[in-house]
């Protein structure tokens, strides 16, 4: 009997909250609606309840919900409810479907997989799909690892980030587990696991190689974790490094020119400031000199008035009658007019006149000097404000234009230099990782040669991968994929080649639809060939090309085709022994919208489903709100 499981419902409960439940049917299910309405949260929650480590997205609407219930059923008609705390941890299993925590005995299941015990969720789920106890090859030495349900989940649940990744659907970005992932794919294609491998290579040389490979695996995992935070793959980083080099060179030239302009402007500002200071000092000096010369002129004027008084007095004295000498007091009879005395008025008048002439000459010279100083002062009084204006203009130009521009350019230059250093460091990580991977591959080839083994790619049966390729080709033709002619599975790349072009070389939209074809094609192949499969597929955003905000990187657009309608028309015919859950932002065709298993997500009460969690009336809006995944 065909084995597998179907998702029947996802329920969140809380002590003070109304239950939030969504139910699913066999066949096709569609959750559609605008972004940020809770659709992708459903995908994350289902994965979380099937053993994903989580944590669940921390969104405001989830506050107060502490329990999660996932209802499932197997194809034999048995139903179960898996319970888990919203914070993670172990599970509780109940027989039957419950949308509230049941008051019946349950069985506790650990979250950690173990093939030695049945007390874990992975073993229970594997038993439901008929794959319990299977083993996978994990390395070139033929060593194996127990199959866990998480190996299967990554081929059945494809979220919106994984669906557009530029890597094989069999890779999750961790090269260390790529062999086990490819072995899982082989198990689903053929139904045969790797239990027959003996794990050969126990001789000392191979043990040494094995120890080196294990060490390299640890280093590869560590470097992969570091590389996850990088801005892109190695090729993009190489291109980015070249662009940064050219940008830094151009920026250095601009920065040098700006620094020269800054130096020239500041030099002019210093020279002008020096001249302005000198002019102000000279103006102050002239003002002091004018004050002093004004005092000196007053002294000259006072001396002139005194001398003119003496001159006038001497002139009047000679016209007076004979009387006692006013200077020596001698009576007229005792006056000796024919001799000189200390009071010779004519000499005094003559000396006064000579002194007057001398002072007048000095006064004239002082006037000329004062006139020159006054002219110089008036000139400076005109020039100083103009110099100040020019100085302020240059200072403003430096402070508001050149200096900010220079700071900005220096900051940009520093950022570019730091970015270049980061890119160099990132490229160094890639080169180191590549070196480790090449060394690991060489060691694995040595081990394979020593033990006579083969690589996992060689273990993939050609007939099986050819039939799988035909299944995907037929699927893409059913969907009216544009110009589809041929599809084959390239073992070395572990991915599809479509019309001679690697799948990862297409743009985002075509990568999404071809990833969907790979995932659904695998389900169809397994059911058609009676090989094991979990029985369900969940795809988040398979029709990415129909989003108006998506640029398909120059690839052929799907928007002018009927791929969308044919995609839904094909899935609407999905038989009940399988289940496909589609999460999309764009509206499906009207005929699909009318189906009971098509649910529109909104953020508006009374229109579709207003988010995954119940909306309070006071928080409901007529537009989409943010905060949900």
| CATH code of residue 463 | 3.40.50.300
Both 401 and 493 in one domain: the answer is no
Residues 315, 400, single domain; the answer is yes
- Judge whether 628 lies within some domain: no
Which residue, of 387, 416, 449, is where some domain finishes? 449
Residue 459 sits in the same domain as residue 434? no
Domain endpoint, select from 418, 449, 480: 449
Is residue 221 a part of any domain in this protein? no
Please answer whether residues 24 and 579 qualify as being in contact, where contact means their C-beta atoms are separated by less than 8 angstroms: yes
Tell me, yes or no, whether 539 and 558 share the same domain.
yes
Q: Confirm if 387 and 274 have CB atoms less than 8 A apart.
A: no
Q: Residue 190 has what pLDDT? A: 93
**36 and 174 within one domain:** yes
Domain boundary, last residue among 398, 429, 449: 449
Same domain, yes or no, for 417 and 496?
A: no
Element (H, E) at 255: helix 234-317
Is 336 domain-assigned? no
Same domain, yes or no: 416 and 527:
no
Question: Which run of H or E residues covers position 9?
Answer: strand 5-14
Please tell me what DSSP assigns to residue 287.
H
**Do residues 35 and 181 share a domain?**
yes
Q: What is the pLDDT of residue 206?
A: 61
Q: Which pLDDT does position 456 carry in this prediction?
A: 52
Domain span at residue 502 reads: 5-200+453-619
Q: Are residues 463 and 601 in the same domain?
A: yes
CA 217-218-224 angle, 5° bins: 85
Q: Is 70 strand, coil or helix?
A: strand
Between CA 365 and CA 385 the distance in angstroms is 31
Residues of the chain with confidence (pLDDT) below 70: 1, 140-141, 175-176, 198-207, 209-210, 213, 224, 227-233, 317-323, 326-327, 332-333, 335-343, 444-445, 447-458, 547-557, 616-629
* 521, 444: one domain: no
CA angle 435, 441, 447 (to 5 degrees): 140
Same domain as 556, residue 543: yes
> How distant, in Å, are the alpha carbons of 207, 208, 217, 445, 494 from that of 386?
89, 87, 76, 85, 79
Long-range contacts of 469-477 (CB under 8 A, 24+ apart): 469/496, 471/521, 471/524, 471/525, 471/528, 472/496, 472/517, 472/518, 472/521, 475/517, 475/520, 475/521, 475/524, 475/570, 476/514, 476/517
Q: Which of 68, 128, 124, 123 is nearest to 101 (CA)?
A: 68
Query: What's residue 475's pLDDT?
Result: 96
Q: How far apart are CA 530 and CA 189, in angstroms?
A: 9
Question: How far is CA 537 from its chain centroid?
Answer: 32
Question: b/e per residue, 469-494, with b = 16+ CB within 10 A?
Answer: bebbbebbebbbbeebeebbbebebb
pLDDT at 554: 43
Percent of the chain with pLDDT over 90: 43
d(CA 468, CA 465): 5
Check residue 588 and give its pLDDT. Answer: 94
Let me know: does 130 contact 159? Beta carbons within 8 Å: no
Give the separation between CA 225 and CA 227, rounded to whole angstroms.
5
Number of domains in the chain: 2
Query: What pLDDT is stored for residue 140 in this prediction?
Result: 67
Residue 21 phi/psi, 5-degree rounding, is -130, 140
Q: Is residue 629 assigned to a domain? A: no
């Amino acid at each position: 009997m065909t084995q597998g499981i179907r998702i029947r419902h996802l329920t969140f409960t809380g002590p003070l909250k109304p239950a939030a439940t969504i139910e699913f049917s066999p066949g096709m299910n569609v959750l559609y609606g605008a972004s940020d309405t809770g659709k992708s949260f459903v995908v994350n929650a289902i994965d979380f309840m099937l053993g994903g480590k989580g944590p669940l997205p921390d969104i405001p609407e989830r506050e107060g919900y502490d329990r999660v219930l996932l209802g499932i059923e197997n194809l034999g008609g048995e139903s179960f409810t898996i319970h888990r705390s919203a914070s993670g941890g172990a599970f509780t299993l109940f027989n039957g479907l419950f949308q509230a925590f049941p008051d019946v005995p349950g069985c506790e299941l650990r979250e950690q997989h173990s093939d030695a015990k049945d007390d874990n969720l992975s073993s229970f789920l594997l038993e439901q799909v008929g794959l319990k106890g299977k083993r996978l090859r994990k390395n070139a030495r033929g060593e194996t690892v127990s199959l866990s349900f998480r190996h299967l989940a990554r081929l059945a649940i494809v979220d919106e980030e994984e669906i557009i990744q530029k890597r094989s659907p069999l890779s999750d970005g961790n090269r260390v587990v790529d062999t086990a992932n490819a072995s899982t794919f082989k198990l689903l294609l053929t139904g045969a696991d790797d239990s027959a491998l003996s794990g050969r290579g126990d001789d000392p040389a191979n043990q040494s190689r094995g120890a080196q490979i294990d060490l390299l695996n640890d280093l590869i995992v560590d470097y992969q974790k570091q590389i996850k935070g990088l801005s892109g793959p190695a090729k993009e980083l190489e291109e980015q490094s070249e662009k940064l080099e050219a940008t830094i060179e151009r920026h250095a030239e601009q920065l040098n020119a700006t620094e020269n302009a800054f130096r020239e402007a500041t030099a002019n500002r210093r020279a002008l400031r020096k001249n302005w200071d000198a002019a102000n000092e000279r103006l102050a000096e002239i003002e002091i000199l004018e004050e002093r010369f004004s005092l000196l002129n007053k002294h000259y004027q006072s001396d002139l008035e005194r001398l003119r008084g003496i001159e006038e007095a001497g002139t009047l004295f000679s016209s007076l009658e004979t009387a006692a000498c006013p200077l020596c007091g001698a009576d007229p009879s005792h006056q000796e007019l024919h001799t000189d005395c200390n009071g010779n008025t004519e000499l005094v008048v003559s000396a006064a006149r000579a002194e007057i002439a001398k002072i007048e000459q000095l006064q004239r010279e002082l006037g000329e000097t004062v006139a020159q100083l006054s002219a110089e002062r008036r000139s400076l009084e005109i020039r100083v404000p103009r110099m100040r204006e020019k100085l302020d203009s240059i200072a403003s130009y430096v402070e508001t234009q050149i200096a900010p521009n220079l700071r900005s350019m220096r900051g940009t230059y520093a950022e570019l230099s730091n970015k270049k250093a980061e890119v160099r460091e990132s490229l160094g990580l890639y080169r180191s990782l590549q070196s480790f991977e090449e060394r690991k591959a060489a060691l694995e080839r040595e081990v394979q040669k020593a033990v006579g083994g083969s690589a996992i790619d060689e273990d993939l049966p050609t007939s099986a991968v050819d039939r799988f390729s035909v299944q995907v080709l037929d699927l893409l033709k059913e969907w009216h994929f544009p110009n589809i002619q041929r599809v084959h599975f390239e073992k070395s790349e572990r991915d599809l080649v479509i019309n001679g072009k690697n799948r990862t070389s297409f743009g985002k939209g075509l990568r999404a639809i071809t990833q969907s074809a790979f995932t659904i094609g695998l389900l169809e192949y397994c059911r058609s060939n009676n090989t094991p499969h979990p029985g369900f597929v969940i795809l988040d955003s398979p029709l990415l090309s129909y989003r108006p905000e998506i640029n398909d990187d120059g690839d052929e657009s799907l928007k002018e085709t009927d791929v969308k309608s044919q995609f839904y028309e094909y899935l609407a015919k999905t038989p009940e022994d399988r289940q496909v859950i589609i999460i999309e932002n764009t509206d499906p065709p009207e005929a699909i919208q009318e189906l009971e298993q098509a649910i529109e997500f909104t953020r508006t009460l009374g229109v579709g489903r207003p988010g995954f969690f119940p909306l309070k009336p006071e928080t409901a809006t007529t537009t989409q709100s943010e905060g949900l995944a």
